[in-house]
Chains A and B, each alone.
Chain A
Amino acid sequence: MSTSATSSTTRFLESHGAEFLSSYGLPAHFGDPNAELEAFSSSVAMLDRSSSTCIRHIGAGALDLLHRLSTNDLLSMQPGESRTTLLTSERGRIIDALDVVLEASDRLLLLSDSLNPLAALDWIDRFTIIEDAEAADASQDLARIALIGPRSEELGELLADGFDSTLVSKSWGESHRLDIVMPRHRFEDAWDTLASAGACPSGELAFEAARVDRGIPAPGYELTDATNPLEAGLKDLVSFTKGCYIGQEVVARLDTYDKLQRRLVRLTCDSPLERGSELTANSKRAGVVTSVSEIAGSDAHAGLGFVRRDYWEDGTVIDSPEGSVTVHALPVFA
C-alpha cells in the first residue's frame, strides 16, 4: 500500500475541509454529506481515489495474458480504449474488478476501487510464467480523482490537456463516472481546478450512499472470493464467446443451466442496517447484508445484500436483526 503517497493527499484534503473517521482510510465527508450525495445526481461529485488500486502492466504479452485471466474480451480493444473486466478464480469467484486502459499495445493501466492492490497484483503474478509481461503497483507515482454525475465529462475536459492525465469513462448505474489518472505531483492543482469549476468534494459517506442507491457492487463488499459475476449482476462484463479464461467453465455452467442460487439486491429497513447481518425468512437463512448507507433517506435506511432465489423478487419482505427488510430487485437483473 502507498502509505506515504496516501498521506500526502490526506494532508492536502484535510486542509480543504475533509473529515477522516476511523472506519475509513479515505475522507468520510467534507462537512455536508447530504449535499455531497445530492451532487452525484444533480451536478458532479469529486472523490480522491489515489489510495485505490492502480497497476501498470507492461510487456508485449500483457494484454494477451490479462485476456486469458479475466472475463471480458480484451483482445478487441484499440489503443486509447478502456474496458472493465473481472479477475476470477478457478471456481468462478471474483478476485477484483479492473478497468483496463490500453495505453499502447504493450502498456496497460489497471484501475480498481479496491484498497488492496495485492489482490490483483498477486493473482496476475501467479499466472505470469513464460509471458513477456510485468505488473507493478503504480500508486506511488500516480494520483486519481473520480468525477461522478451529469457534469463529469464536462469538468473532466478541464484536465484533458496540461495535466499529463489519462481519462477513463464508464457508466455508473444510471450515472456517469470519469476517473482521471495523473502524476501525483499534479493532484493538488487538479483538485483545485475542478473544485473551482463546481465539482463537489465528496467523501465515502456520500459515495457509499450513492453506490447503495444505484445497486453498484464494490470490491471488498460484494465483489469477493465468495461471489461470482452473475450473482453480482455483472453479466455484461463476461464474454461468453471469447473462449477460455480462468473460471470460465463454472461461469458458463451457471449461465447455461440457470443455476444462480442468490442475487444482489437493494434492501431497505426502518432502522439502520448492519453490514454482515444475516437475513432470515421463517427462521431459515435468506441472505446477508454486504453494504449499508449511513445517510438515511427520506423514508428508510438502505443497504445492499445477497438474497437466495426464493426471496429475490421485488417487494419481498424478510427479517433481519435490525427489523423487517424489504427487497428491491435491481434493474440489471430485469
Chain B
Amino acid sequence: MTTMTNPAPDTFTTGSAERRATADRAARRWRHARRALGAVAALAAIALPALTGPYLITLAATAIVLALLAMSTQLLAVAGLPSFGQTTYLGIGAYTAALLAAAGITNGPALLAAAAGTAALAAAVLAPFVLRTRGVTFLMVTVMIQGLAVAVAVHWTSVTGGDEGRHTPAVTLWPGDPLTSTPVIYWYTLTAFAAVGVGTAWLMRSRLVLLLRAHAGHEPRMTALGHRATLELGAGYAAAAAISGAGGALLITINTYVSPADISFGVAAAGFAAAALGTALAGFPTMTGALVAAVAIVVVRDWAGSDGTGPLLLGLLLLTVPYLRPAVLRLRARRVNRPGAAA
C-alpha cells in the first residue's frame, strides 16, 4: 500500500539508454506484481472472518494495532530518528479512548479522532525536549520514555486503574448498536486501519515528509536554508504519535480493556522491530515493509509461538533478518539489473 516515493538506492548506473529501458521495464513488472500481491492480501484480509474462526480474527486485529505502531515508528525512521517509545502514544490514545468510553462517548470514529489528537498533542509537548537529541541518544531517550510511560500507567491509578487496567464499554458506530460480534469489530478495525493507511500514504507524498527526509539526510543544509529542525521534525513526531494514538483507540475497540501490559517493553520492542525489519528487507524505510514485518511478527510470535515459544521464535527472527540485508540488497539489484529481464 503506502510505499514512500523513495527511489531504490543505486540500482543502476546512468549508462546506456537501452540498459535503463530494460531496468525500467523490470521495475514496472515488479510494481505490477506488487500491486497484484497487495490486492490479494487486501481481499484476504476482508474475507478473513468468512475463512477462519474467532481466534485468527483476533490475531489479525492484533496485527493491525502492531502495524499502526510499526508505521508510526517508520515515519520517524524516515526522518532519521530511531524511536523505541511509540507505545507511549499508543497508551495515551488507548487511555484517552477508555476514559471517554467510560464517560459515555463510545462512538468509534470519535474515539479514533480523540485518541489520535491527544497523542499528537502529547507528542507536540514532549517534542522540543526529545528532539534535542539524535541518533543513538534519541534511541536511548525513547527507550527511557517507554519505561517511564509504563511506570506512570502503573502508578497513576486514579486515571489508569494501575496494574488492574481499565475495562470499557463496547464501541458503537453512529447511530448503531454496540459492536460485539468478532467479525464486525474486525471489519470496523480494518476499515479504520485503511483510513489511517490512506492518510499515511498521503502524508508520505506530502512536503512534510520531503522535509523530514531532508533533515535525516543533511540537517546543517536544512538549517542554513532557514528550516527549523525542532519545528519540522516535531510536526513529524506529532504525526507519528497520531498514527500510534489511532492504534490505541483500535486496541480499545478490539479488547474493550487496556492495561500497562499493552504498552510494555515487549510491545514496544515488537513495534520497533517491525519497522526495523521492514527497513532491512526493503533497503530503506518503507511503510509497506513495516506493515509486512508487523504481520510476520504476529504470525511468528502469536501463531507459530502460541505454545509459549513465541519470544524465542521472535528473538531468532530478530537475530537473522538484519544479517540477510546484504543478500536482499544484492537480490534486488540483480532483479532490476538483469539484462533482458522484461524481454
Whether A associates with B in a native complex is: no
Chain A residues proximal to chain B, CB less than 8 Å = none
